[in-house]
């Protein structure tokens, strides 16, 4: 039975300034990649504290170009966590390189750094740690493994604009990092992505690659001299440009980033408190140095004593999780599986012959994770309603099991 309440999984927030922002490029007549994209890039670089930011059409494009710019080629191996959105591994496949999966840690669902070393072979070129759901990875721990092997690190920080580790912004300690501005992220430009780096050559290369490989951008040709002739195209590029309409919206959204982050953090803390006594649920954990951006608030359905189950117990708990999601939906509450175990997806299973249990924590996280509604402006009452609904159904489970 539905109570007529509707609580979405997320809700992007657009105010009057956002609405006006998109009219600036429209009124100017310049709507493709131009000065608004530049301003958006400067805003992101300045917020994160990097020298360069290069906007592209989405985060997957940023990862793809980042890998090419780092020299990844056919036959190379790139280590990625097995519990992440499929785009992380797909970017590696686009380069005809091989993603080498590394399981995640049950502590915070990011790459298990104890296992990372074992994933490295003489063919490894790059490591892509993922700051999943906005939980920043400990880059000094990643570097302890990558540096002795001379490996480059490209951080997938799709969800992590505004996340900090030890006071340092996510992505800034890697050679480069990629953000997403999809509507489920901290700020949105509809679709959109950005690569940040302190490496000028890498930034230049990605700028060129996003624009068909052109040696000079349209804006430069328009503003400068000698723009009548087409520039050189001496590398194979792509059209991964962001539009100025998105750039203008991005600038406007950036001006509210700190407010969005504060509101998400407050809502996450409220869930932490409200969910603390609930059996069957592990709330998101992060180390003391981490300040997550809370792109998502992802809990794990577990055993009654708040412990991770064994592999044998997963199927039963998975049925329970799926039933729970269906019941919450009936109550008007949207939830989502946290993300997926990429090695269990059809393409990767078929191509590399993985079994579910090859990366057990990722497999269990796929089957047992549950993202709760979280967005700027979710009310305390809505969160109480979510938690009370969860409590009702999880308590029901306890009774069923004990008779
Ligand atoms: C961890 C991660 N990487 C990459 C992406 C891809 O981002 P985009 O949709 O902007 O390409 C996402 C999107 O959800 C993501 O969560």
pLDDT tens figures, 38-55: 999 999 999 999 999 999
On whether both 194 and 289 belong to a single domain, the answer is no
How many structural domains is the chain composed of? 2
Q: Across residues 137-165, what is the average pLDDT?
A: 97
Q: Say how many Å lie between the CA of residue 193 and the centre of ligand 1.
A: 9
Q: Say how many Å lie between the CA of residue 337 and the centre of ligand 1.
A: 15
Q: Across residues 313-320, what is the average pLDDT?
A: 95
On whether both 224 and 336 belong to a single domain, the answer is no
Q: 66-81, pLDDT tens digit by residue? A: 999 999 999 999 999 9
Q: 218-277, pLDDT tens digit by residue? A: 899 989 888 898 999 999 999 999 999 999 999 999 999 999 999 999 999 999 999 999
Q: Say how many Å lie between the CA of residue 120 and the centre of ligand 1.
A: 24
* Confidence at residue 378, expressed as pLDDT on a 0 to 100 scale: 96
* Confidence at residue 201, expressed as pLDDT on a 0 to 100 scale: 98
Q: Which of 38, 143, 185, 205 is catalytic?
A: 185
On whether both 277 and 239 belong to a single domain, the answer is no
Q: Identify the domain containing residue 225 by its residue range.
A: 16-254
7 domain residue, yes or no:
no
73 domain residue, yes or no:
yes
Establish whether residue 193 lines the binding site of ligand 1, counting it when its CB lies within 6 angstroms of any ligand atom. Answer: yes
SS in 3 state form for the chain?
Answer: CCCCCCECCCCCCCCHHHHHHCHHHHHHCCCCCCHHHHHHHHHHHHHHCCCEEEEECCHHHHHHHHHHHCCCCCCCEEEEECECCHHHHHHHHHCCCEEEEECECCCCCCECHHHHHHHCCCCEEEECCECHHHCCCCHHHHHHHHHHHCCEEEEECCCCCCCEECCEECCCCCCEEEEECCCCCCCCCCCCEEEEECCHHHHHHHHHHCECCECCCHHHHHHCCCCCCCCCECCCCCECCCCHHHHHHHHHHHCCHHHHHHHHHHHHHHHHHHHCCCCCEECCCCCCCEECCCCCEEEEECCCCCCCCCHHHHHHHHHHHHHHHHHHHHCCECCECCCCEHHHCHHHHHHHCCCHHHCHHHHHHHHHEEEECCCCCCCHHHHHHHHHHHHHHHHHHHHHHHC
* Confidence at residue 347, expressed as pLDDT on a 0 to 100 scale: 98
390 domain residue, yes or no:
yes
The verdict on pTM exceeding 0.85 is yes
Establish whether residue 85 lines the binding site of ligand 1, counting it when its CB lies within 6 angstroms of any ligand atom. Answer: yes
**Domain finish residue from 232, 254, 276:** 254
Q: Say how many Å lie between the CA of residue 301 and the centre of ligand 1.
A: 24
On whether both 96 and 183 belong to a single domain, the answer is yes
303 domain residue, yes or no:
yes
On whether both 80 and 224 belong to a single domain, the answer is yes
Q: Across residues 321-325, what is the average pLDDT?
A: 96
* Confidence at residue 45, expressed as pLDDT on a 0 to 100 scale: 98
Please give the residue that has the higher pLDDT: either 227 or 197: 197
On whether both 284 and 236 belong to a single domain, the answer is no
* Confidence at residue 400, expressed as pLDDT on a 0 to 100 scale: 42
Task: Give yes or no for residue 2 having a pLDDT over 50.
Answer: no
Q: Say how many Å lie between the CA of residue 320 and the centre of ligand 1.
A: 28
2 domain residue, yes or no:
no
**Domain finish residue from 254, 288, 311:** 254
On whether both 143 and 266 belong to a single domain, the answer is no
On whether both 75 and 193 belong to a single domain, the answer is yes
Task: Give yes or no for residue 398 having a pLDDT over 70.
Answer: no
CATH of the domain at 50: 3.40.640.10
4 domain residue, yes or no:
no
Atom of ligand 1 nearest to the CA of 192: 10
122 domain residue, yes or no:
yes
Establish whether residue 109 lines the binding site of ligand 1, counting it when its CB lies within 6 angstroms of any ligand atom. Answer: no
- Residue whose CA is closest, atom 7 of ligand 1? 59
Atom of ligand 1 nearest to the CA of 130: 1
Q: 124-147, pLDDT tens digit by residue? A: 999 999 999 999 999 999 999 999
On whether both 204 and 306 belong to a single domain, the answer is no
* Confidence at residue 304, expressed as pLDDT on a 0 to 100 scale: 85
On whether both 219 and 73 belong to a single domain, the answer is yes
On whether both 136 and 275 belong to a single domain, the answer is no
Establish whether residue 182 lines the binding site of ligand 1, counting it when its CB lies within 6 angstroms of any ligand atom. Answer: yes
* Confidence at residue 314, expressed as pLDDT on a 0 to 100 scale: 96
Establish whether residue 338 lines the binding site of ligand 1, counting it when its CB lies within 6 angstroms of any ligand atom. Answer: no
Is 125 part of the annotated catalytic residue set? Answer: no
138 domain residue, yes or no:
yes
> What value does the mean pLDDT of the chain take?
95
* Confidence at residue 4, expressed as pLDDT on a 0 to 100 scale: 60
**Domain finish residue from 218, 233, 254:** 254
On whether both 217 and 312 belong to a single domain, the answer is no
Establish whether residue 133 lines the binding site of ligand 1, counting it when its CB lies within 6 angstroms of any ligand atom. Answer: no
Lowest-confidence region among 4-18, 112-126, 328-342, 353-367? 4-18
CATH of the domain at 340: 3.90.1150.10
């Amino acid at each position: 039975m539905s109570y007529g309440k509707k609580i979405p999984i997320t809700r992007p927030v657009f105010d009057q300034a956002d609405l006006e922002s998109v009219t600036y490029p429209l009124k100017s007549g310049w709507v493709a990649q131009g000065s608004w994209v530049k301003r958006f890039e400067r805003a992101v670089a300045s917020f994160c504290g990097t020298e360069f930011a290069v906007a592209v059409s989405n985060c997957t494009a940023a990862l793809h170009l980042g890998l090419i710019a780092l020299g990844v080629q056919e036959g190379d191996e790139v280590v990625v966590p097995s519990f992440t959105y499929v785009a992380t591994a797909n970017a590696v496949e686009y380069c005809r390189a091989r993603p080498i999966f590394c399981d995640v840690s049950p502590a915070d669902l990011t790459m298990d750094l104890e296992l990372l070393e074992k994933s490295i072979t003489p063919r490894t070129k790059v490591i892509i740690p993922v700051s999943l759901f906005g939980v920043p990875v400990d880059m000094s721990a990643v570097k302890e493994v990558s540096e002795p092997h001379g490996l480059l690190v490209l951080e997938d920080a799709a969800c992590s604009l505004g996340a900090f580790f030890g006071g340092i912004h996510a992505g800034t300690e890697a050679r480069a990092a990629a953000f997403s501005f999809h509507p489920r992220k901290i700020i949105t430009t509809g679709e959109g992505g950005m690569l940040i780096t302190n490496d000028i050559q890498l930034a230049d290369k990605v700028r060129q690659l996003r624009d068909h490989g052109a040696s000079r951008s349209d804006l430069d040709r328009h503003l400068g001299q000698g723009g009548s002739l087409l520039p050189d195209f001496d590398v194979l590029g792509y059209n991964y440009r962001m539009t100025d309409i998105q750039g203008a919206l991005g600038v406007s959204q950036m001006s509210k980033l700190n407010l969005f982050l504060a509101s998400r953090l407050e809502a996450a803390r409220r869930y932490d408190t409200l969910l603390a006594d609930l059996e069957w649920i592990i709330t998101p954990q992060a180390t003391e140095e981490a300040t997550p951006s809370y792109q998502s608030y992802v809990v794990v359905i577990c055993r009654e004593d708040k412990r991770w189950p064994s592999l044998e117990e997963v199927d039963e708990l998975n049925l329970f999780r799926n039933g729970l999601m269906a019941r919450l939906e009936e109550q008007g509450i949207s939830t989502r599986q946290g993300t997926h175990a990429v090695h269990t997806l059809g393409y990767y299973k078929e191509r590399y012959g993985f079994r579910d249990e090859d990366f057990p924590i990722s497999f269990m996280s796929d089957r047992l994770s549950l993202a709760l509604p979280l967005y700027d402006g979710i009310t305390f009452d809505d969160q109480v309603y979510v938690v009370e609904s969860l409590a009702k159904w999880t308590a029901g489970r306890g009774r069923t099991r004990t008779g």
